Homo-oligomer: A and B are copies of this chain.
Amino acid sequence: MGSSTEHVLAVVRRQILAGDRSPGDKISEVGVAADLDVSRTPARTALAALEAEGLIEKRDGRGFTIKSISVADVEKAIQVRAVLEGLAARTLAENGMSPETETLLRGSIAMSQEILETEAPEIDYIGRYQEANRVFHETIMQRCGNELVGHAFERIALLPMTALGTLAFDQTTLERQRMRLTVGHSQHVIIMDALLKRDGQRAERMMIEHSNATLNYGQLFVENGDGVACRAQDPAKPCRRGGHGHGAALD
């Protein structure tokens, strides 16, 4: 049963993530209530949830605003994710995997490998790889035996993480993207090996490196200097999210 609150939450979240609502824009209960033709009550609930997710922030007396996000924010989110995923990997290695977990991880790796081994990849191979990648990380997070890790991660940095998805694949040639993916895949294999050997420290170290790599390797492969310039500690400089998927992120 799709409740009205969930509907509002999903729609507004998609609007924000898609860029239909720009950073800095005001959002109010009455606004979304009128927009989606619902009462103010579910609108209020949804806005509260959005604030908990970090997508919007509350101004004192004047509604909510779409949170502006800077490259520095993305870096911070990645660092938090890295240590949390590292803990998840270590915990999973120390506790051992269940057969189902092992099946899921092996499946993800097999799919990634198949995609990367294809000589003439279809145009959507990046999307398929991202799916396999998501399975790998989500499986480790959610089945590591410490549900608080996943719980902490869910509540944090939904927006920076999404921005990251559009960020990493911009301004690179297809060949470079393929290289990036290959490197990432190799790290998955190494992490899997550490998990199977119950080597918690190695699993943790590699996972942290792998998670941080999402941004670092992207910078390594960016041809011009924009990435580095954008990396400079300038929290005030907003990194606008592209409104159409692969937009002008990391400008």
Which chain A residues (191-224) contact chain B, with CB distance < 8 Å?
none
Copy number in this complex?
A: 2
Q: A27 an interface residue at 8 Å Cβ cutoff?
A: no
Binds B, one of A11-19, A78-86, A166-174, A180-188: A78-86
Q: Are A148 and B77 in contact (CB under 8 A)?
A: yes
Partner of A156, one of B52, B83, B91, B148: B148
CA distance A157 to B151 in the complex (A): 10
| List of B residues within 8 angstroms of A84 by Cβ | 80, 83-84, 152
Looking at chain A, what size class is its interface with the partner chain? 20 to 34
Q: Are A79 and B146 in contact (CB under 8 A)?
A: yes
Question: A134-146, CB under 8 A of B: which get 1 and which 0?
Answer: 0000000000001
In this complex, what residue of B is CB-closest to A80? B148
Question: A74-103, CB under 8 A of B: which get 1 and which 0?
Answer: 001101100110110001000000000000
Q: Are A151 and B156 in contact (CB under 8 A)?
A: yes
Q: Are B52 and A148 in contact (CB under 8 A)?
A: no
Closest Cβ of chain B to A210, distance in Å, is: 16
Q: A190 an interface residue at 8 Å Cβ cutoff?
A: no
Partner of A79, one of B73, B91, B151: B91
A-B complex: 8 closest residue pairs judged by Cβ atoms: A83-B83, A76-B146, A155-B155, A152-B156, A83-B87, A152-B152, A76-B148, A80-B148
Q: Which residues on A are within 8 Å of B, measured CB to CB?
A: 45, 48, 52, 54, 73, 76-77, 79-80, 83-84, 86-87, 91, 146-149, 151-153, 155-157
